[in-house]
Structure 1
Amino acid sequence: MQTDALGLPSALAEVDTKDIHETSAMIFLKDRRTESANGHVPRLERLIQACLENPELKINLVPVTILWGRAPDKEESLFRLLMADEWESPSKAKQLFNIGVMGRDTFVRFSEPKDLQVLINEAKAQSPDRITPTITARLQGYLDKQRTSIVGPDLSDKRNVAGAILSSPEVMRAIEKQAAETGKPIAAVKAEAQGYLSEIASNYSHSVVRFFDHFLTWLWTRLYDGVEVRHFERVRALAPDYQIVYVPCHRSHVDYLLLSYVIYKRGLRIPHVAAGENLNIPVLGDLLRSGGGFFMRRSFKGNALYSTVFKEYVHSLMQRQAPIEYFIEGGRSRTGRLLPPKLGMLAMTVNSYLREPAKPVAFIPTYISYERIMEGATYVGELKGKPKESENLLGLLKTARKIERIFGTVHLAFGDPLYLTDFMAKFNVNPTDASDDNVKNTHAMVQNLGVKVMQNINKAAVVNPVSLLALALLSTPNAALDEAQCLEQIRLYQHIAQALPYDADTHVTDMTPRQILDYGVQLKLIERTPHILGDMIRVADKQAPLLSYFRNNILHVFIIASFLAALVQRNGRIHRDRLDGITELLYPFLQSELFLKMALRNIADHVHQVLNLLIEQGVIVDLGQGVVGSPEGNSQAYQKLIVLASPAQQSLERYFMALTLLSKQGSERLTTEQVVNLCYVVGQRVSVLHADDLPDMFDKALFTSFIDTLVRVGYVSIDTDTNLLSFDERIDRIAEFAKFVLQPDVMQVLTHTASLSDDELSLAMASMEKKRKFGRG
């Protein structure tokens, strides 16, 4: 029995003491066979009476939740899924079925013991004439709370939920407003709202969830070597008392199913997941909807009624305390970097709580990484300008079925939770204050919360073997290294990540460098080429653009070390003060691009720590008098420096593409779109120059993010009438630092492109617009 496993007295044993004489230690709160005429449970009444007569008597009541057919770590037949426990009281036939067929497949959870004397004292204070009913209700509340955390809130009556949403004051006002504006009858507009709700709402079914359990167990076993999960205990501890909002990064369509699967297998209620309308297709859409998915359009613009219905649906989920999940990036990252957060769903969550607080809200940033990704080739094509393909999950699984290569291990880590009440206190947000100042504070809070979510996702990063291989090999001109050098480079990366951990949550693979190489060969990502002077390790054919995705997953962990290596390698020798100055100038852009957790005010100390570590490893040399430099040019240490410098070099090249272009063209000459498009063209050229075909150099999202950061930090402003970018001489001063950062060949390309005449600019813009119209740009 479960009591034996936990070291508790048997629930079936007789209880016989001076004050208590009971045939067993079990109390059923809902048992029509034994309850008294007043609806009370006789055994509980007797125990309460014994405690009232003897205040020294110590009795602990242990709430126990038993769910038939809800054992998340066991497999079941599809037929038995239909008989699993939900909220409805089972019929006698179902009870017999549960005992006879599912008796070995139950889920039992013991809560913390409750001191009956304490419960009695609390009941006396609350309602002295109703001690037994008060305690019974309290105990039932404990059980309901535990059941809610396992199977979720009672959502069995979907019609009541829909009716409550459509009759809410907010939706009714939106219906009346649209009817007045369009001249349609109220009934017609309400029917339209009903249609929107049907399009949006989930239709949760425990049976379908259990079906997914079987199917996904089979699928993961077929596709992956395993799913490694970290820090789930955080979620388990918070689930009973907090409104849980999962905010994962978005790498693949597989994310939708993976996170829910992991949560379910660990015994918690799967979240309601916000999914894009592109997945709301026949059969698949119904399955996802039954698994807790709800659907949203990409844009609410121009449809106030739809927007109101959707917000009210989210509010209903919050009020029913259903866990929620949404991908804060909005869409899947095509580069492996985190995308800037889309704040719409975050704002809806916050506003729902401010409007009508229920449980306190805990956001769970969640890091997901793969070692192979199904959509990889599609992502690379889109970055190179191919039209975005209309993808869906069925197409993805069909593709996966055709791929014979293994996909390695999936890594999922639950980051440090963020508590909404903490942010409300920090930004002085008052739920009852409708003033303009409070609205501004709320807006600022949501923006800050979005950034913190991204930073905490990155803090939970997993430095997996594929990412380390990509980081080492893609930093060489031909994506190849001598095997001994490759092993040393991987060892250096592991030492950096372990000696100066990015964060306590960051995990570094415990594979040895040799095991990492063998693993890469096994995954067919790299090849070993025998040679008389020593084997060479190279990236397998056509894998370099795909591997850049996995390198970018962990770039933030090594970016400061890479940045310092790039500055030292480019200059040969450089004073520490100049390193500090350049770092302080450029760190805001690195921080914005990679969602680095370190504040600018603390970066100088961190730079000194990293620099000293690199000196200790022999990658950088301390020349004395505050000057550091490169090792000897033909040394192994210098080769390590070059490889270490490469990732940051590519980021810096992108920055100075935009800065040099702005500086040469002048203020109020270009719009953001024009700068991004020109940088895209230059990036393609630089990528050819490097002969690496890596998509990072022509990712428009990265250039757009850089311009946004220039605006945010005050270097650039945008004219509201013309959309032209205006700036002062500070841009010129920053652009001058390019000579300390970029290689001469790259500088030449940038200088030439940045100095285009007006006619050449117009021609380039016209050419790009033509390509865009024909779906090639």
Structure 2
Amino acid sequence: MAKKNSFSQMYRRVSGKLLSTFVTPQLLGESGATDKLSTAIKAQELSAAGVAAVVDAENGVTSSQPVCYILQNYSRSNALVLDSETRRLELPPALDSMDSPLLNEDASILFLQQRAQRNNFYPNNYTFPPRLLRLIEALEKNPELDIQLVPVTVLWGRAPEKEESWFRLLVTDSWATPSALKQLVNIGVHGRQTYLEFHEARSLRQMLNEALVKYPNLAPATYIVSNLTEYLAKQREVILGPDLSDRRNVVSGLIQSRDVQNALKQEVIRSNITPAQAEQMAAGYLDEIVSDYSPSSVRVFERGLAWLWTQLYDGVEVHHFQTVRELAEKYEIIYTPCHRSHIDYLLLSYVIYKRGLMIPYIAAGDNLNLPLLGQFLRGGGAFFIRRSFKGLELYSAVLKEYLHSILVRNTPLEYFIEGGRSRTGRLLRPRTGMLAMTIHSKLRGGGKPVVFIPTYFGYERLMEGGTYVGEMQGKPKEAESIFGLIQAARKIERIFGKVHVSFGEPVFLDKMLEQHNADKIRLTSNDQPLPEEASTAVNAVAQEIMQNINRAAVINPVSLLSLVLLSTPKHALDEEVCIKQLDTYRRLAEMAPYDERVEVTSLPGREIIGYGLKLKLIKRVHHVLGDIIAIEDNQAVLLTYFRNNILHLFILPSLIASLVQHNGKITREDINSVIQTLYPFLQAELFLKWQADHLPDVIDHVVEALIGCELIMDDGRETLYSPAPNSESYNQLGVLATPVKQSLERYFMTLALLRQRGSGRVTAKQIEDLSHLLGQRLSVLYEFNSPEFFDKTLFQSFIGALTQLGYIRLDENQVLFFDETLINMADNARLVLDEDTMNHLQHITNFSDDEVIAAIAALEKQKSRRKRSK
């Protein structure tokens, strides 16, 4: 036996050395090997026998137990690669013996499918892994023994099967056990793209007990092999995605589908064309839309993006990805991120791919379907959609059918819930077109249950920053072009700080459909309209996604600096005061966290200032009485973007601070009353997560945190006081109170405008347009043109909230009507705004009918000019 073991070890070393010259395995997992293995196993020198320790993610080392690695298919090369990696990671080596007083196995590896099974065509000839049978027997004889089974996925390349050519079938990572020839080709072709993923360890004893309870009449090995085989197959699909057809076959199959054929017949009648012409039109639409996923393109993306992030950013930090990894096995994943930058979709695909999941197919606007770039993006999973296809019934039919085919095949999907990029840093109102098509598809049946993954991007610098500032100040939106991308590429030498990708609380579609009584609806074709219950569910899902994106926000140094300095009159603070304010905000975020998923920078105030200086966003003005920290010249407008990324996290503390500071003293009851009135409008604007009935508890929690930070005082009799004027705490309270005031001023201005125009004399659109124009005039109050006053959607959300709450109503002509309830709400603004501000707002909203007509005409002329320029 000793000679045999000696020979085996020599064979292993020689074979492993030879294989290592061709193979360079890469670990898949959330953050490399150590993070992924934190829930599996780690080697511990617990005994001379080399017994491994099972490691639990929460409780640490739990027990000393032998380890056995599970591979799906028999392969010597897979075993050698696994053995090499376990040794490199200082894990129990896969090809070393399982030395234990109760076991005598010459290797710690188990193949679910044995070599001898390749020629067996009948299930009855199935042979259980002999080592598994011996391990089960050892457990039955020794009740104190347990063995940890660690499933491992080994991939030679990450390309799903494509029905395209015999060569691709030979070199693609297939679902079947590879032949000797194919494995040699795999080593030669994919040796440098070999991937391993260690999955969570399982207790063999627990699986044995489950088998005995669930299937007492079956051999336990049947259940264990079946369970592990199914698990590894699912993990493989999660990484590779489903088998693919080539693009030509996809287009052909979609045209032949029942729903597209029906749409073709209708198009023939509607457009008075021949069936061949209609089919040619459909093929053209599909050629315009359909992705052309290419593993080789993905590999080029991976390498290029790895270089780009190194050149562009100080690092990419990922938060809460493990949630996604756990869901990918059982759910159809649909990523629904916010949209901050063109970098978003590249960044998200890169993060997903590097952590061992298949990258999603991405719904992209056809404005990105540029020469050369468009084809390259298709190779990375992009499919292109027109911004508007109203009246194009055939286009709508083929798009819906293509989307349905993606979902039925359980291919991950991604689309931006806002539709376009935010120019202000706030979340835009959701565009529900893709969401409605997704829900429509699932009501037709097929595929896994759907889960939406809200995703937050947090940047510290933006490549498009200068463009956004110009657009928010009235310049027309710049169209994407090769020239524009080249211009952006010139900025690569600049440092853009860190970027954060944070995955939010999942939204489960089945649960949302059930809540809105839409779970029993079944649709039979893609031209059926969504029933009312399903349409209601679409809007509810959209709101939930938006709120969950904000729940995953990241408070980074730049956003925190922006929030503090933009809240000061001159955008400057004494350095020591600034440090204390930053530390107070961090403390407040930790004492009264908005959500458990919110990430807060670990840098203290002094280091945050150093970080801002490094990025050249702020400057230090030296002074004999103490240095001053100020926003760099021409950076104030841009920094509003980063402030707005986290504004929702501090809006409730800001509102409470504003009430206490403005009134000097105020009862808790009055604070609750005012916030209950204002909250629906802030919630509509900032997608806040709390329901109205939870507000009292939330308010109490925030108040206690403000007291703990010594920003307000409590007399013990339900009355809150502001600190003494001109004290350090009073000044800190004033800075905290500022962020909410711009929203309150916009609300009061719109209310004053409604009051001045009168009930029944103006339409909703006219009020939105006038409020937008007045908002730009209101910016004169400030030292720079804040984008807040140029964002028309903020006024639209306020009018929408007023309508929903019953303060105003619309007739069939969209004319606004209201009563004294609205007037009384405007009068109550004195609790939150000072007299000078209210008088100014009332003054600028006071103009004649002729002035209104002239202003609206000028606005329409401006819109017409912009359309012609496009």
TM-score strictly above 0.5: yes
Cα drift, residue 460 of structure 1: 0.8
Assess, with a 3 A threshold, how the Cα gap between structure 1 residues 737 and 47 changes in structure 2: closer, same or farther.
same
Q: Where do residues 203-282 of structure 1 align in structure 2 (5 Å cutoff)?
A: 203-282=292-371
Which stretch shows the higher mean deviation, 435-444 or 153-162? 435-444
Please state whether the residue corresponding to 1:413 is helix, strand or coil.
Answer: strand
2:840 to 734, 746, 749: 749
1:35 to 88, 94, 119: 119
Q: Which residue of the partner structure matches residue 730 of structure 1?
A: 821
AA partner of residue 35 (structure 1)? N
User: Does the 8 Å CA contact 1:20/1:47 hold for their aligned counterparts?
Assistant: no
AA partner of residue 151 (structure 1)? L
AA partner of residue 358 (structure 1)? G
Q: Which residue of the partner structure matches residue 774 of structure 2?
A: 682
Is 1:642 the counterpart of 2:734? The answer is: yes
Please state whether the residue corresponding to 1:647 is helix, strand or coil.
Answer: coil
User: Does the 8 Å CA contact 1:13/1:25 hold for their aligned counterparts?
Assistant: no
Assess, with a 3 A threshold, how the Cα gap between structure 1 residues 121 and 358 changes in structure 2: closer, same or farther.
farther
Distance in 2, matches of 1:159 and 1:31, equals 37
Cα drift, residue 110 of structure 1: 4.9
Assess, with a 3 A threshold, how the Cα gap between structure 1 residues 116 and 631 changes in structure 2: closer, same or farther.
closer
Q: Where do residues 450-465 of structure 1 align in structure 2 (5 Å cutoff)?
A: 450-465=542-557
Q: Which residue of the partner structure matches residue 740 of structure 1?
A: 831
TM-score of the pair, normalised by structure 2: 0.80
Distance in 1, matches of 2:136 and 2:679, equals 67
AA partner of residue 534 (structure 2)? T
Assess, with a 3 A threshold, how the Cα gap between structure 1 residues 138 and 308 changes in structure 2: closer, same or farther.
farther
1:323 to 412, 436, 441: 412
AA partner of residue 68 (structure 1)? W
Cα drift, residue 148 of structure 1: 1.0
Q: Which residue of the partner structure matches residue 593 of structure 1?
A: 685
Q: Where do residues 458-497 of structure 1 align in structure 2 (5 Å cutoff)?
A: 458-497=550-589
Distance in 2, matches of 1:624 and 1:316, equals 63
Q: Deviations over 1:709-736 (max 9, x none)?
A: 112222222222x222222221111111
Distance in 2, matches of 1:549 and 1:570, equals 27
Q: Where do residues 43-54 of structure 1 align in structure 2 (5 Å cutoff)?
A: 43-44=127-128
Cα drift, residue 604 of structure 1: 2.1
Which stretch shows the higher mean deviation, 145-154 or 161-170? 161-170
Q: Which residue of the partner structure matches residue 772 of structure 1?
A: 863
Assess, with a 3 A threshold, how the Cα gap between structure 1 residues 63 and 631 changes in structure 2: closer, same or farther.
closer
Assess, with a 3 A threshold, how the Cα gap between structure 1 residues 207 and 30 changes in structure 2: closer, same or farther.
farther
Q: Which residue of the partner structure matches residue 365 of structure 1?
A: 454
Assess, with a 3 A threshold, how the Cα gap between structure 1 residues 534 and 429 changes in structure 2: closer, same or farther.
same
AA partner of residue 394 (structure 2)? L
Cα drift, residue 632 of structure 1: 2.6
User: Does the 8 Å CA contact 1:11/1:26 hold for their aligned counterparts?
Assistant: no
Q: Where do residues 530-569 of structure 1 align in structure 2 (5 Å cutoff)?
A: 530-569=622-661
Q: Where do residues 147-226 of structure 1 align in structure 2 (5 Å cutoff)?
A: 147-226=236-315
Is 1:762 the counterpart of 2:853? The answer is: yes
Q: Deviations over 1:1-20 (max 9, x none)?
A: 156669668468799x9999
User: Does the 8 Å CA contact 1:660/1:754 hold for their aligned counterparts?
Assistant: yes
AA partner of residue 731 (structure 1)? L
User: Does the 8 Å CA contact 1:284/1:394 hold for their aligned counterparts?
Assistant: no
Q: Where do residues 430-449 of structure 1 align in structure 2 (5 Å cutoff)?
A: 430-432=519-521, 439-449=531-541
Q: Which residue of the partner structure matches residue 610 of structure 1?
A: 702
Cα drift, residue 768 of structure 1: 2.0
Cα drift, residue 430 of structure 1: 2.9
User: Does the 8 Å CA contact 1:384/1:698 hold for their aligned counterparts?
Assistant: yes
Assess, with a 3 A threshold, how the Cα gap between structure 1 residues 179 and 420 changes in structure 2: closer, same or farther.
same
Cα drift, residue 178 of structure 1: 1.3
Structure 1 runs not aligned, ≥5 long: 72-79
User: Does the 8 Å CA contact 1:28/1:41 hold for their aligned counterparts?
Assistant: no
User: Does the 8 Å CA contact 1:61/1:116 hold for their aligned counterparts?
Assistant: no
AA partner of residue 510 (structure 2)? T
Q: Which residue of the partner structure matches residue 633 of structure 1?
A: 725
Distance in 2, matches of 1:226 and 1:570, equals 42
Please state whether the residue corresponding to 1:366 is helix, strand or coil.
Answer: strand
Distance in 1, matches of 2:419 and 2:776, equals 26
AA partner of residue 296 (structure 2)? S
User: Does the 8 Å CA contact 1:387/1:775 hold for their aligned counterparts?
Assistant: yes
Distance in 1, matches of 2:311 and 2:103, equals 60
Cα drift, residue 30 of structure 1: 8.6
User: Does the 8 Å CA contact 1:362/1:417 hold for their aligned counterparts?
Assistant: yes
Distance in 1, matches of 2:184 and 2:741, equals 69
Assess, with a 3 A threshold, how the Cα gap between structure 1 residues 772 and 564 changes in structure 2: closer, same or farther.
same
Distance in 1, matches of 2:328 and 2:428, equals 28
Distance in 1, matches of 2:419 and 2:597, equals 24
Distance in 1, matches of 2:551 and 2:93, equals 44
Q: Which residue of the partner structure matches residue 30 of structure 2?
A: none
Cα drift, residue 253 of structure 1: 0.6
Cα drift, residue 383 of structure 1: 1.4
Cα drift, residue 442 of structure 1: 1.6
Distance in 1, matches of 2:560 and 2:103, equals 67
AA partner of residue 758 (structure 1)? D
Assess, with a 3 A threshold, how the Cα gap between structure 1 residues 322 and 120 changes in structure 2: closer, same or farther.
farther
User: Does the 8 Å CA contact 2:516/2:533 hold for their aligned counterparts?
Assistant: yes
Assess, with a 3 A threshold, how the Cα gap between structure 1 residues 133 and 392 changes in structure 2: closer, same or farther.
farther
Distance in 2, matches of 1:432 and 1:210, equals 42
Which stretch shows the higher mean deviation, 200-209 or 134-143? 134-143
Q: Deviations over 1:614-659 (max 9, x none)?
A: 2333322435654433323222222112211111001111111111
User: Does the 8 Å CA contact 1:170/1:308 hold for their aligned counterparts?
Assistant: yes
1:99 to 158, 176, 187: 187
TM-score of the pair, normalised by structure 1: 0.90
Q: Deviations over 1:470-520 (max 9, x none)?
A: 000001122111111111211111111010111111111000100000000
Cα drift, residue 164 of structure 1: 3.0
Cα drift, residue 459 of structure 1: 0.8
User: Does the 8 Å CA contact 1:343/1:450 hold for their aligned counterparts?
Assistant: yes
Cα drift, residue 122 of structure 1: 8.4
User: Does the 8 Å CA contact 1:368/1:411 hold for their aligned counterparts?
Assistant: yes
User: Does the 8 Å CA contact 2:551/2:594 hold for their aligned counterparts?
Assistant: yes
Please state whether the residue corresponding to 2:363 is helix, strand or coil.
Answer: strand
User: Does the 8 Å CA contact 1:48/1:120 hold for their aligned counterparts?
Assistant: no
Is 1:509 the counterpart of 2:601? The answer is: yes
Q: Which residue of the partner structure matches residue 67 of structure 1?
A: 155
* Aligned-residue RMSD, C-alpha: 3.7
User: Does the 8 Å CA contact 2:776/2:789 hold for their aligned counterparts?
Assistant: yes
Q: Which residue of the partner structure matches residue 74 of structure 2?
A: none
Name the % identity: 48
Q: Which residue of the partner structure matches residue 491 of structure 2?
A: 402
Assess, with a 3 A threshold, how the Cα gap between structure 1 residues 432 and 50 changes in structure 2: closer, same or farther.
farther
Distance in 2, matches of 1:297 and 1:31, equals 52
Distance in 2, matches of 1:521 and 1:3, equals 44
Distance in 1, matches of 2:306 and 2:121, equals 49
Assess, with a 3 A threshold, how the Cα gap between structure 1 residues 428 and 43 changes in structure 2: closer, same or farther.
same
Q: Where do residues 413-428 of structure 1 align in structure 2 (5 Å cutoff)?
A: 413-428=502-517
Distance in 1, matches of 2:263 and 2:365, equals 24
User: Does the 8 Å CA contact 2:311/2:492 hold for their aligned counterparts?
Assistant: no
Distance in 2, matches of 1:54 and 1:518, equals 61
Structure 2 runs not aligned, ≥5 long: 1-82, 160-167
Which stretch shows the higher mean deviation, 222-231 or 662-671? 662-671
Distance in 1, matches of 2:293 and 2:522, equals 36
Is 1:572 the counterpart of 2:664? The answer is: yes
Distance in 1, matches of 2:107 and 2:796, equals 73
AA partner of residue 749 (structure 1)? H
Cα drift, residue 342 of structure 1: 1.2
Q: Which residue of the partner structure matches residue 291 of structure 1?
A: 380
Assess, with a 3 A threshold, how the Cα gap between structure 1 residues 291 and 771 changes in structure 2: closer, same or farther.
same
AA partner of residue 218 (structure 1)? W
AA partner of residue 161 (structure 1)? V
Cα drift, residue 99 of structure 1: 2.5
Please state whether the residue corresponding to 1:574 is helix, strand or coil.
Answer: strand
User: Does the 8 Å CA contact 1:171/1:308 hold for their aligned counterparts?
Assistant: yes
